[in-house]
Amino acid sequence: MTTKSPEILYNEALIICTKNRLYELKNVATSLYLCSFIPEYIVLIDGSDLHEKLTITKLFSHLNSTLLISSTEIASIPFQRNLGISLLPNSCKIVHFIDDDFLPNKNYFHHLSQFLLLNKNKVLGAGGRILPISKKNKSTLFHFIFGLNSNQPGIVLSSGRTTESQAILHSFFPYTSLFLSGCSMSFDYSIFSRFKFDESLKGYAQDEDLAFCLQLPKDSIFVVPKAFGIHLKSTTNRLDKISFKKMSVINRFYVMKNYASNRFSVPAFHWSIFGQLLILCKSPVKNSDLIKGLISGWFSMLK
């Protein structure tokens, strides 16, 4: 029995940034083939050590979409996202982003496309539900005191900390969020004439998705639970725990200061770091790398 090829969502594009993940890309290509609808354009920005244009082309050759591949040595997710956007024709209406280890469900693109098109006058961005669902961690008094969490999904606290937005069982109906995860986000193409991904966030950075979303008007971003996919969180090319934690502190402080600042933000941020440190120090041996990364990032930020 032959699987029917996906139908094409014309004037829509999918951008995937990748580095040294051919195995993961093969899974993504298979997942796309099993979708009911896929975008007209598939754009792959390849930052691999050995550029694999021919191999990547073969992986996606069974799809009827127009494949655009660009190789770059600039190790920057914000740069690569902006590069992908620059390759698109002006006829484009919707731009989807998924990670190179995210597997969309059969109707993922259909649901996001329909939601954005039907609500074009008020919705600028939408993302799907991300599986597996995070374990529900209710906010305790400790979390509240240190500005670490809240039971309200998809918000940015004064400390710069964010609450889970997409990997939760919050609602079966679309709901608003202040931000979307980079592994599952789609936008009205027209916004890219006004907004760009912040290339000040260097390297394979965290929070470039948060920085971008916080530029958009409030209540213009939604999570569409019917559109879902699995984020495999590949271990390939991941930073070690110390470097990852350090980057998370430095980048979040940058985003908070530039995109979500109020008069309480800076002291609230430092207070939240102290709260995180207290939590990690409950198991100092187990969390030693995270403690080192947290302190290193904190000190780097204070310089």
1 has pLDDT over 50: no
2 has pLDDT over 70: no
- Return the percent helix, strand and coil in the chain, to nearest 5: 35, 20, 45
The pLDDT tens digits of the residues spanning 74-124 come to: 889 999 999 999 999 999 999 999 999 999 999 999 999 999 999 998 999
Structural domains of the chain, ranges and CATH numbers in brackets: 7-133+169-231 (3.90.550.10), 137-163+241-303 (no CATH)
Q: In whole angstroms, give the CA distance from residue 53 to residue 70.
A: 8
- The per-residue pLDDT for 136 is 60
262 has pLDDT over 60: yes
- The per-residue pLDDT for 263 is 83
With bands split at pLDDT 50, 70 and 90, how would you rate the model's confidence at 237? confident
Helix intervals (H) in 34-76: 53-60
CB 23 within 8 A of CB 99: no
CB proximity list for 1: less than 8 A, separation 6 or greater: none
Q: What is the mean pLDDT of residues 288-301?
A: 93
236 has pLDDT over 90: no
- The per-residue pLDDT for 45 is 95
Mean pLDDT of the chain: 92
Length of the chain in residues, anyone?
303
With bands split at pLDDT 50, 70 and 90, how would you rate the model's confidence at 137? low
The pLDDT tens digits of the residues spanning 217-228 come to: 999 999 999 999
The pLDDT tens digits of the residues spanning 18-36 come to: 999 999 999 999 999 999 9
Q: In whole angstroms, give the CA distance from residue 152 to residue 224.
A: 17
51 has pLDDT over 80: no
Q: What is the mean pLDDT of residues 140-153?
A: 87
Q: What is the mean pLDDT of residues 193-216?
A: 91
CB 268 within 8 A of CB 147: yes
With bands split at pLDDT 50, 70 and 90, how would you rate the model's confidence at 151? confident
